[in-house]
Amino acid sequence: MVTATTPPTDAVFKAIADPTRREILSLLRGGGQTVGAIAGNFRMTRPAVSKHVRVLRSAGLIRTRQSGTLRLCELNAQPLRVADAWLREYRVFWNASLRDLKTYVEDAP
């Protein structure tokens, strides 16, 4: 669980570690949805989905806003830059490994 003392980087990684939460983020890429609409995409109870939404909201990955009588959840992708920055260091390794593999395959007899 993400707490008030969890560093932002850890909160983001903990939030996206769960496949259900990643799927919720994917759903919200298409636009804002209510928790009920989000829950309709899963085989779990609405309270269980609400817990996932709370984790995402506490990590800053979801914002909520009132639209009339509805409360819409919307994606806030900005905190994902933390994950991107962390992965950037490993992309250098992957790119080098792929170049080495390409060279090996092309030079193989």
Residue 11 tokens read as 């909160």
pLDDT band at 105 (very low <50, low <70, confident <90, very high): confident
Cα(62)–Cα(56) distance, rounded to whole angstroms? 6
pTM over 0.75: yes
Q: Tell me the pLDDT tens digit for each residue of 12-40.
A: 999 999 999 999 999 999 999 999 999 99
Residue 5 pLDDT greater than 50, yes or no: no
Q: Tell me the pLDDT of the chain averaged across its residues.
A: 88
Contact in structure between 57 and 64 (CB atoms under 8 Å): yes
Domain range 8-77, CATH architecture: Orthogonal Bundle (1.10)
